[in-house]
Amino acid sequence: MNVPVVKVISTCMSIGIMVSINQRLDAETINIVAEEFGFKTEYVSAEVVEAINEEEDREEDLEPRAPIVTVMGHVDHGKTSLLDNIRQTNVIAGEAGGITQHIGAYNVKLKSGRRITFLDTPGHEAFTAMRARGAKVTDIAIIIVAADDNVMPQTVEAINHASAAGVPIVFAINKIDKPGANPEKIKETLAGMNYLVESWGGKYQSQDISAKQGLGVDELLEKVLLEAELLDLKANPDRRAKGSVIESSLDKGRGYLSTVLVENGTLKKGDIVLAGTYFGRVKAMFNERNQNVESAAPSAPALILGLNGAPQAGDVFHVLETEQEAREIATKREQLQREQGLRTQKILTLDDIGRRIAIGNFQQLNVIVKGDVDGSVEALSDSLIRLSTEEIQVNVIHKAVGQISESDITLAAASDAIIIGFQVRPSQAARRAADKDGVEIRLYSIIYDAIEEVKSAMEGMLSPEIKEVQTGYVEVREVFKITKVGTVAGCMVKEGKLKRANKIRLIRDGIVIYSGELGSLKRFKDDVKEVASGYECGLNIHNYNDIKIGDIIEPFEEIEVKKTL
């Protein structure tokens, strides 16, 4: 607007907003300030401001590329076994609890010489976020269902993700070699969900397979390739690469490692890569077997070294010309992200305070989540936040990739948080600091365990309910007035027991007249701890003398019942 900064600031002050020189204003304020100086405002999205110039590909430069196939389905239905069979290796043996916890990308060369890139997404529901990202980068989805089981909620979710992304679906019905297998029942269930397979006259391809025995796997791949031909997938290998980040982690010896999937162009060693808020020069590239490679063609996964941080799973990466350009965009994105973070931080409102007072014992559980790879960290924090209830709120105050460091301990000590480490360990210094500050570090290698334990910790934080249990029924037969002691009642225990420690209620004509404690309890001349049903006893009530013949005394106990979520 060519107006001195001081004037802008004074204009803001005149409308009651205190600002500093390097603060972003929100849209409403910008409109008011601009109008003051006689300007009209027009907005472009943040993406446009930092748009990376995409060069259009000419038709003659495009070459066919391998299809990218995601294998999805319920946990334990055989996704990894199918991939093991195709790649002839054994991954499951190395996964914690036999559950895939990371997204893996594998490029496979078939007997016919054609290539397919597979993405193995975890089946456990905590990985919805990762799976949603998995369905975005893919061309074709294989949905695997076990023939001896049913179409599970996660399977339905996977199908919905794939449909929403407009990705062709091929159904693989696994474990047909098992005794209780019934593939037709699965097809029937799918038909009920409006997914008719070809053998039932529908448009969805399906194949009965046994991943363990290798039955029907080749036919399944044929069907996948057929779908790929219909899609006519092409890419231009002679341009700067772009693609998606599938996973990122911090390796102690090598630094930040990112698994990327090239979608267009060729990624070479020495390229300047920008992914999310991080950038860097590719120092080294490895394929999925950890062999050094010089370049990655379209549809090929690669492990790259050299970024200055761990980008989020699902971030898009671009190759830029100069490091300066990459640094500028990364800094701009980081600034935007930080501001968004500050804006979205929840500040306590009066309603919140009112609600907490109404509930009476509102608790907060602050958590810091550290993990080995970004996808797991995201999935775990989402699942933990979802555990929040009316009475207990779970706040993930910090989540990051890498080992648990001293700064995490400091943050935890300052905010009374517990640290949850997923497949990571604290450094020596961090462990010492944790002992000193009394910070609790919980380490897990299976995501279910972490969620379960946090849930039980929250159940422990819930204040227990006090429940009253009536333990007996006592009738007053005679009343004696004794000086210095007061009124003593001669009673008969009709039901249950009367214990000296019980609290009691005095009931007359069905109405509770007094609640209190026993002063003494005797049989003949002896003090006793309890009197059983059918026996007589003498008792007096602490600080209360109005007892009449025919009153009923009800002893009761208060027991604490643990609340559950």
Q: CA-CA distance, 158 to 72, in Å (whole number)?
A: 6
- Kind of pairing between the strands at 526-527 and 417-422: unpaired
Contact predicate 471/556, CB 8 Å: yes
- Kind of pairing between the strands at 169-174 and 140-146: parallel
Q: Provide mean pLDDT across the span 462-488.
A: 85
Q: Where are the beta strands (DSSP E) in 278-358?
A: 278-286, 295-296, 301-307, 316-320
Average pLDDT over the chain, rounded to an integer: 80
- Kind of pairing between the strands at 511-523 and 503-508: antiparallel
Torsion angle of alpha carbons 322, 328, 329, 335, nearest 10°?
Answer: 160
pLDDT of residue 415: 78
Q: What is the pLDDT of residues 489-541, one digit of tens each?
A: 999 999 899 999 889 989 888 888 888 899 899 998 899 999 999 999 999 99
CA 232 to chain CA mean position, Å: 37
pLDDT of residue 99: 45
Q: Provide mean pLDDT across the span 294-321.
A: 84
The most confident of the ranges 72-81, 182-191, 265-274, 280-289 is 265-274
pLDDT of residue 126: 44
Q: What is the pLDDT of residues 528-539, one digit of tens each?
A: 999 999 999 999
**Residue 94 — pLDDT band, cuts 50, 70, 90?**
very low
**Domains in the chain: ranges and CATH:** 5-43 (no CATH), 63-234 (3.40.50.300), 242-340 (2.40.30.10), 346-463 (3.40.50.10050), 467-561 (2.40.30.10)
Q: What is the pLDDT of residues 23-64, one digit of tens each?
A: 777 778 888 888 888 888 877 665 544 556 666 777 777 888
Q: What is the pLDDT of residues 171-192, one digit of tens each?
A: 888 888 888 778 788 888 888 8
Q: What is the pLDDT of residues 149-164, one digit of tens each?
A: 777 777 787 787 777 7
- Closest to 424 measured CA to CA, from 441, 448, 454, 403: 403
DSSP state of 380: H
The C-alpha angle 47, 378, 313, rounded to 5 degrees, equals 50
pLDDT of residue 96: 45
Q: CA-CA distance, 526 to 521, in Å (whole number)?
A: 9
Q: Which residue has the higher pLDDT, 469 or 211?
A: 469
Q: How many helices (H) and strands (E) does the chain have?
A: 14, 29
**Residue 349 — pLDDT band, cuts 50, 70, 90?**
low
